[in-house]
C-alpha cells in the first residue's frame, strides 16, 4: 500500500502519520518501522527495505521524507535512484505500507513518477488551519487541559504566534501549566513578542515621531543583536503594509477581502487597522522614500548602516 501525506500544516501531518503508525501497529519497538530522507539516503536502500518481508509482525511501514525529486525543487537526483524509486512503486504489496511524506504542496505534476503516484497511491492533503478554525482549535486545546482563556488573551496569543498550529499547541501547554485561567497579562508575560511585533511598535513610534519610544524599542532590538539592514527592510515592509491596508479600506474592501488580498491574518490586520488610523498616506510615502534612499546610501558605502538608521529616526 502506498500513501502520500503532504501539505502546509506540519503539526496535523505529523498527527496523521502517528495515527497510521497506531492503526498498523508500526513502531521501532516492534522493529517494523523505518524512516528515510530523500535528500540524505539512497533510494536503493529504501527499495531493499520495501522488498524485505516484515520479521516479527504482519505489517511494516517504510517512510520516505523530503522526496525532493518529486517536487519542483531544482535539485537533480541520480537517474539510477529514480529507477529504484520506480521499483519501490512496482513492489506495492499488502505487507508493506510505503509512506511518502512531504512538507509543502510543491509536487511537480508534470513528472512521470508523480503522475503514477496520483493513479496508484492514496493521497492525504493537509492544509493550514484557517484563522477562525485556529481560534476554535486553541480554545478546545485549552479546555482539554481543564483551563480557560479570556477573549483578549486568545487574540494576543494568536497575533503573536500567527498561523503555526504547532507553536500554538506548545504555547497552550506552557500557559496551562502556569495557570488554569489565562488572562491577557499572562500571555503578555509568558509568550515572547515576535520580531515583527517589536518592529511594528518601532514603526508606529517613527510615524508618531515619538523619539523616546522609538529609541527605547530600537535599543532593545540592538541588545538582541538585530541587524540594522534587516530592521530597515522590516520597517519599510510594515509601512508598506499599513499603506496598502489604508488604501484598500478607502476603496471599500472589507477585512476579509483585505486579509485575503494581502495574506494577513485577522488578528494582525485588526492591529494594523487600529495603529494605522492616525497615519497619513502622504506621510507613509515620504517615509518609504527616505528608507529607499537610505538603503542606497548604505549599499554604496556612503553611510554606516547603524548610523544611517539612527539618523533616519532623528530626522523623520
**What residue ranges do the domains of the chain occupy?**
2-126, 131-190, 195-315
Closest CA to 102 of 114, 112, 110, 91: 114
pLDDT at site 307: 93
DSSP state of 127: P
3-class DSSP state of 4 = strand
Residue linked to cell 539592514: 229
Q: Do 72 and 113 contact (CB within 8 A), yes or no?
A: no
**H or E element that contains 43:** helix 43-51
| pTM of the model as a whole | 0.59
Closest CA to 72 of 105, 28, 119: 105
Outline where DSSP puts E strands in the chain: 2-7, 33-37, 60-65, 96-103, 122-126, 148-149, 181-182
The two counts, helices (H) then strands (E), for the chain are 15, 7
| Angle separating helix axes 266-276 and 131-144, nearest 10 degrees | 110
Nearby residues of 144 by Cβ (< 8 Å), 6 or more positions away: none
User: How would you write the pLDDT of the chain (316 residues) with one tens digit per residue?
Assistant: 999 999 988 888 998 999 999 999 998 888 899 999 998 899 999 999 999 988 878 899 999 999 999 999 877 767 888 899 999 999 988 899 999 999 999 999 999 999 999 999 999 999 877 777 888 889 999 999 999 999 999 988 988 887 778 888 889 999 999 999 999 999 999 988 777 778 888 998 898 888 999 999 999 889 888 899 999 999 999 899 999 998 898 888 888 888 888 888 777 787 788 777 778 888 889 999 999 999 999 999 999 999 999 999 998 7
DSSP state of 69: G
CATH number of 131-190: 1.10.8.60
Closest CA to 61 of 24, 12, 89: 24
Distance CA 168, CA 149 (A): 13
pLDDT at site 265: 77
Domain range 195-315, its CATH number among 3.40.50.620, 2.60.40.1080, 3.30.450.20, 1.20.272.10:
1.20.272.10
pLDDT at site 77: 66
Q: To 5 degrees, how large is the angle CA 258–CA 241–CA 198?
A: 120
Give DSSP secondary structure letters for 212-244.
HHHHHHHHHHHHTT--HHHHHHHHHHHHHHHHH
Closest CA to 294 of 274, 282, 309, 281: 309
Residue 160 grid coordinates: 503573536
Residue linked to cell 477585512: 255
Q: Is CATH 3.40.50.300 the classification given to domain 2-126?
A: yes
Amino acid at each position: 500500500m502506498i500513501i502520500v501525506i503532504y501539505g502546509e500544516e506540519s503539526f496535523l501531518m505529523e498527527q496523521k502519520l502517528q495515527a497510521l503508525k497506531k492503526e498498523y501497529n508500526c513502531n521501532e519497538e516492534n522493529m517494523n518501522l523505518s524512516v528515510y530522507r530523500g535528500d540524505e539516503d539512497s533510494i536503493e536502500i529504501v527499495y531493499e527495505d520495501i522488498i524485505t518481508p516484515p520479521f516479527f509482525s504482519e505489517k511494516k511501514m517504510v517512510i520516505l521524507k523530503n522526496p525532493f525529486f518529486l517536487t519542483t525543487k531544482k535539485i537533480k537526483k541520480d537517474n539510477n535512484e529514480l529507477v529504484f524509486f520506480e521499483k519501490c512503486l512496482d513492489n506495492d504489496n499488502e505487507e508493506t505500507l510505503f509512506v511518502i511524506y512531504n512538507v509543502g504542496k510543491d509536487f511537480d505534476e508534470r513528472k512521470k513518477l508523480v503522475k503514477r503516484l496520483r493513479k496508484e497511491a492514496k493521497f492525504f492533503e493537509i492544509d493550514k488551519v484557517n484563522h477562525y478554525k485556529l481560534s476554535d482549535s486553541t480554545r478546545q486545546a485549552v479546555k482539554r487541559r481543564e483551563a480557560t482563556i479570556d477573549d483578549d488573551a486568545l487574540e494576543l496569543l494568536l497575533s503573536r504566534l500567527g498561523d503555526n498550529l504547532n507553536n500554538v499547541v506548545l504555547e497552550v501547554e506552557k500557559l496551562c501549566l502556569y495557570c488554569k485561567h489565562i488572562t491577557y497579562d499572562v500571555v503578555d508575560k509568558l509568550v515572547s513578542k515576535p520580531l515583527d511585533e517589536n518592529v511594528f511598535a518601532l514603526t508606529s513610534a517613527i510615524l508618531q515621531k515619538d523619539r523616546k519610544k522609538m529609541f527605547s524599542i530600537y535599543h532593545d532590538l540592538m541588545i538582541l543583536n538585530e541587524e540594522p539592514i534587516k530592521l530597515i527592510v522590516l520597517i519599510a515592509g510594515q509601512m508598506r503594509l499599513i499603506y496598502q491596508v489604508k488604501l484598500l479600506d478607502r476603496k471599500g474592501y472589507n477585512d476579509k477581502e483585505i486579509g485575503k488580498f494581502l495574506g494577513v491574518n485577522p488578528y494582525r490586520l485588526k492591529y494594523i487597522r487600529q495603529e494605522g488610523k492616525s497615519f497619513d498616506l502622504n506621510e507613509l510615502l515620504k517615509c518609504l522614500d527616505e528608507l529607499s534612499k537610505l538603503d542606497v546610501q548604505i549599499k554604496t558605502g556612503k553611510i554606516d548602516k547603524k548610523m544611517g538608521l539612527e539618523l533616519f529616526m532623528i530626522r523623520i
